[in-house]
Amino acid sequence: MANPVVVEVVRGARVESRHRGAGAVVDADGAVALAFGEIDEPVFPRSAVKALQSLPLVESGAADALRLNDAEIALACASHSGAATHVETAAAMLAKAGLEVASLACGAHWPLGEEASRALSRVGQTPSPLHNNCSGKHAGFLCLACASGWRTRGYEQAAHPVQRAAKAAIADVTGAALGEDVCATDGCSIPTYAVPLRALAHGFARLATGVGLAPRRAAAAKRIFTAAAANPAMIAGEGRFDTEVMRLFGPRVFVKTGAEGVYCAALPELGLGLAVKADDGATRAAQTMIATLISRFVAIDGEDRARLGPFAAPVLRNWNGIAVGSLRPAGPLAETPS
Amino acid sequence: MANPVVVEVVRGARVESRHRGAGAVVDADGAVALAFGEIDEPVFPRSAVKALQSLPLVESGAADALRLNDAEIALACASHSGAATHVETAAAMLAKAGLEVASLACGAHWPLGEEASRALSRVGQTPSPLHNNCSGKHAGFLCLACASGWRTRGYEQAAHPVQRAAKAAIADVTGAALGEDVCATDGCSIPTYAVPLRALAHGFARLATGVGLAPRRAAAAKRIFTAAAANPAMIAGEGRFDTEVMRLFGPRVFVKTGAEGVYCAALPELGLGLAVKADDGATRAAQTMIATLISRFVAIDGEDRARLGPFAAPVLRNWNGIAVGSLRPAGPLAETPS
C-alpha cells in the first residue's frame, strides 16, 4: 500500500510535485490521536531522536558533574548551522571534559547554514569537526564518557558504553525492539536504529509527560526540553524551521528534524508526541507535515497562526522575488472546511 | 493511479526512502520504446528544455550574425555552476550583443557550484545575474532580440517576441498544446509550459534526428547538440551529472536536467528521446532514472558501464567517507537478471 500524498508543490495553477508520507500523533498511554499512512514500519529517525540520545548525559549526572549549562545541553540535541555560536559552544563542552577537537569522531563538513558557510570561506578557513551539525551531540557523548570514566576512543561505535546507553534510552522511551535488523550507520558515524513512527510519537509523548519513565529519566527529559525552549537558536540556527517554530511557541512545542524527511515533536502541555516521515526523504515535505499537525493540535490565536503559516504552506519565490507557487498540505492533511 | 517506485535509497540493509516517477523513451515517429508511470499528464520541464528554447537563437541566424562560438551556444542551453568560465562566457555573449549585465532579467543567486560559491565569497564578492545558472540562456535570449531588432526590455515576458519564439519552438518540436492552462513562471522569470513526458521524449527524438522538423530547425538542433558535446563543462560544470555523463558518451548522449526532478535526453545515434520526472521533484531520483535508461539503450562496454555506475546507483558516504548506503533503480527500472 502506498502512503497518501500529503504535500503538494504548486506552480502557477498546477501541481508540479507531490510528496507522500506517514505520520502519527500519540499520547503517553499510546492512544493514537491522529495517524495517516503506514506507522508501524520501522523508519530511521536519524537526528530527530537526538533528545533521546542525550538522556544518558543528563540523567547520569554527567552534565551536572561537568557543569554543562542549558545552551550546551540544547546543543547536544541539535543539528546546528555551524555558526560561530554553535562552534564556540561545542568547543566549550569539549573543554569542560578536558578534550580536544581531535576527539570528535563526527567528521567535518561545511556548515549547514549558508551564511555560516560563506563566513568561514570569507576568512579563508575550512571546516573542522566542530562545524559538523552533530558536533554538540558528539561533544555530549564525550562528556558522558569522561564523567563516567569510560575511554573516549571509539565512543561512536555501537559496542561502546556511550552508544549502548543511547540505544537503551531509545528502546526504553519508544518501546521499540532495536535489533541488528534495524541498525545502520548515521551520517556522523554513530549507529541509527529504525523505529516505527507510532513508537517514536509515543516516545515523545512520554518524554513530554514523564509517564512510564523512571523518575531520573523523566527529570532529564524535562531539563532537556526546558534547555531547548530557552535556547531555540542552539537547536538549528537563525531562520531555520526548528529554531523559528520553537521561538514561536516557546515551551509548548519541542520540534526536531532528522535527515531523509523525518520530524519528531512533543507538545508538553497536551501530553502528545508527533512523528512524521516523507517517503522520499524531502525535508520540505516533512516541515509542512509537522507544521500542519502542530497547528491542528496547539491552540493558537490568529496572529500566531499567521506566523506559522509560512512554515506549513510556504510561498515559493523565484530569484527575482516573484511568487511562483507554494507548498500546501494535501490529502489527510488538507485544510478541512471550517 | 500512483506512479511506481523507481528509485530506492538504501541505508544498511533497509530501504530508507523511496522515489516514485514516470518516464518515456520514444523514437522520432512517436513510437514508445519504453515507458513507466503516467506519461500523458503535462509536467513542467523547467530547464530541461533549454536546448529547445535556444533553437530560435541559432535557426534565425542571430548566433551567426553575432559570431557566437560553440561554447557560447552550449551555455545558452546550460544550467551552469556559476564558475569563472561560465560567468566570463555569459559576459562575452552580452558584449557581442552590445549589452550590459543589467539587461539580464534572470535575477542573481549564489553559484550552484559549491566551490564556485565559496570562491566568490573568498574574494568578498556577492553574486550578480551572471552567476545565475540561467545566465547563458538569458544572454542567448538577448542576443536573439538584438540581432532581430526587437527591444530587449521585457524579453522575459510571455508576450515578448523572444518568448513567443521559444514557445513556438517547444510546441512545434514536442507537438504539445501550450495553452494558458499549462503556463507558469520559472525560477528565472520566463514562462514555463507543462508538456507530457511522452511529448518531451518524442521532441528530443526529433531534435536528435531532424525527423519532422523544418530544415533550418533540424540544422539548428544538430549544431546545438554538437556544441554541447564539444563543451560538456558549459552545460553544467565540473563534477556535475550532465557534464560528466556527456563527457563519458560524447556526441552519443545529450542530457539536461530541469528543476523539480526532470531530465530530458537525446540519443542521436539511436534516434531516441528520453524524458523522466520524479513525482516528488528530487534531482537524485531523476539522475538515477535517466542514467539507468541511458545504460539500457546505449551500447557501452564494461569499462564505460562501470564509469556510468556511480551515476545510476551512487554509493552514499557519510562525513567520514564510510559507505552507509546507496541509491538503486527499483520496480520497472530494477536490473533484470542477465
pLDDT in tens, A9-39: 999 999 999 999 999 999 999 999 999 999 9
Neighbours of A118 (CB within 10 A): 18
A4-8, A304-308, B33-37, B68-72, range with the lowest pLDDT: A304-308
pLDDT of residue B186: 96
pLDDT surpasses 90 at A66: yes
pLDDT surpasses 80 at A335: no
Distance from CA of A117 to the nearest CA of B (A): 8
A-chain residues within 8 Å CB-CB of B118? 110, 117-118, 121
Cβ contact A308:A294 at 8 Å = yes
In chain A, % of residues over pLDDT 70 = 99
**Rounded CA separation B86/B80 (Å):** 7
pTM higher than the cut 0.90? yes
pLDDT surpasses 90 at A6: yes
Nearest C-alpha in A relative to B195: A16
Nearest C-alpha in B relative to A324: B185
Q: What is the pLDDT of residues A189-211, one digit of tens each?
A: 999 999 999 999 999 999 999 99
Cβ contact A280:B280 at 8 Å = yes
**Rounded CA separation B207/B200 (Å):** 10
Strand partners, B231: none
Between A311 and A259, name the one with better pLDDT: A259
Of B107, B122, B260, the CB nearest to A318: B107
What is B221-272 written as a DSSP string?
HHHHHHHHHH-HHHHS-TT-HHHHHHHHHGGG-EEEEETTTEEEEEETTTTE
Distance from CA of B86 to the nearest CA of A (A): 18
pLDDT of residue A252: 96
Q: What is the pLDDT of residues A127-153, one digit of tens each?
A: 999 999 999 999 999 999 999 999 999
Nearest to A246 by CA among A230, A261, A224, A260: A230
- What grid cell was written down for B132? 545565475
Q: Which helix (H) or strand (E) holds A309?
A: helix A302-312
Task: Please tell me the number of Cα atoms within 13 Å of B262 on its side-chain side.
Answer: 26
Q: Measured in whole angstroms, how far is the alpha carbon of residue A150 from the centre of its chain?
A: 27
A-chain residues within 8 Å CB-CB of B13? 181, 184
Helices and strands counted in chain A (H then E):
14, 12
Question: How would you classify residue B124: left for phi > 0, otherwise alpha for psi between -120 and 50, otherwise beta?
Answer: left
Angle at A100 between CA A97 and CA A102, to 5 degrees: 130
Q: Which amino acid is at A206?
A: R
List the pLDDT tens digit at each of the 338 positions of chain B. Answer: 699 999 999 999 999 999 999 999 999 999 999 999 999 999 999 999 999 999 999 999 999 999 999 999 999 999 999 999 999 999 999 999 999 999 999 999 999 999 999 999 999 899 999 999 999 999 999 999 999 999 999 999 999 999 999 999 999 999 999 999 999 999 999 999 999 999 999 999 999 999 999 999 999 999 999 999 999 999 999 999 999 999 999 999 999 999 999 999 999 999 999 999 999 999 999 999 999 999 999 988 888 888 888 888 999 999 999 999 999 999 999 976 43
Is A186 in Cβ contact with B16 (below 8 Å)? no
Backbone angles phi, psi at A228, to 5 degrees: -70, -45
pLDDT surpasses 80 at A165: yes
Is B260 in Cβ contact with A9 (below 8 Å)? yes
What is A164-210 written as a DSSP string?
HHHHHHHHHHH-----GGGEEE-TTSSEEE-EEHHHHHHHHHHHHH-
Strand duo A191-193 + A183-185: pairing:
antiparallel
Q: How far is CA B336 from CA A23, B15, B23, B155, B329, in A?
A: 34, 19, 18, 48, 11
Torsion of CA A86, A224, A78, A125, to 10 degrees: 20
- What grid cell was written down for B299? 551500447
Q: What is the pLDDT of residues A227-278, one digit of tens each?
A: 999 999 999 999 999 999 999 999 999 999 999 999 999 999 999 999 999 9
pLDDT of residue A338: 39
A-chain residues within 8 Å CB-CB of B319? 106-109, 132, 187-189
pLDDT of residue A303: 84
The yes/no answer to whether this complex scores an ipTM above 0.85 is yes
Nearest to B280 by CA among B14, B50, B22, B42: B22
pLDDT surpasses 80 at A1: no
Give me the count of residues in chain B. Answer: 338
Distance from CA of A222 to the nearest CA of B (A): 31
Scan residues 246-275 of B and list those with Cβ closer than 8 Å to A.
260-261
pLDDT of residue A187: 95
pLDDT of residue B135: 98
**Rounded CA separation A280/A257 (Å):** 15
pLDDT of residue B191: 97
User: Exposure pattern of B261-270 as b/e (b: 16+ CB <10 Å)?
Assistant: bbbbbbbbeb
Give me the count of residues in chain A. Answer: 338
Nearest to B5 by CA among B257, B334, B284: B334
Of A121, A185, A260, the CB nearest to B118: A121
Is B118 in Cβ contact with A118 (below 8 Å)? yes
**Rounded CA separation B205/B188 (Å):** 27
